[in-house]
Amino acid sequence: MNLHCSTMGKGRPLILIHGWGMHGGVWNDCAGALARRFRVLCPDLPGHGHSPAPPAPIGLTDLAGACLPLLEEESLILGWSLGGLVALALARQAPERVAGLVLTGATPRFAAGEGWPHGMAPRMLEAFRTRLAEDTPRTLQRFLALQAQGDSAGRGLLRRLQAIAAQAPAPDTTALASGLAILENSDLRPTLAEISCPVLVIHGETDALVPVAAAVHLATTFPRARLHRFARAGHVPFLSRAGEFLRCLMEFAAHER
Q: Does 118 qualify as catalytic in the annotation?
A: no
Q: Does 81 qualify as catalytic in the annotation?
A: yes
Alpha-carbon gap, residue 128 to 177, rounded angstroms: 10
Query: DSSP letter at 170?
Result: P
Alpha-carbon gap, residue 60 to 229, rounded angstroms: 27
Burial class (CB in 10 A: 0-12, 13-18, 19+), 146: middle
Q: Are 34 and 40 in contact (CB under 8 A)?
A: yes
Catalytic residue among 48, 207, 228, 240: 207
Catalytic residue among 6, 51, 75, 81: 81
Catalytic residue among 18, 118, 228, 235: 235
Burial class (CB in 10 A: 0-12, 13-18, 19+), 137: exposed
Q: Does 196 qualify as catalytic in the annotation?
A: no
Cα Rg of the chain, angstroms:
16
Catalytic residues: 81, 207, 235
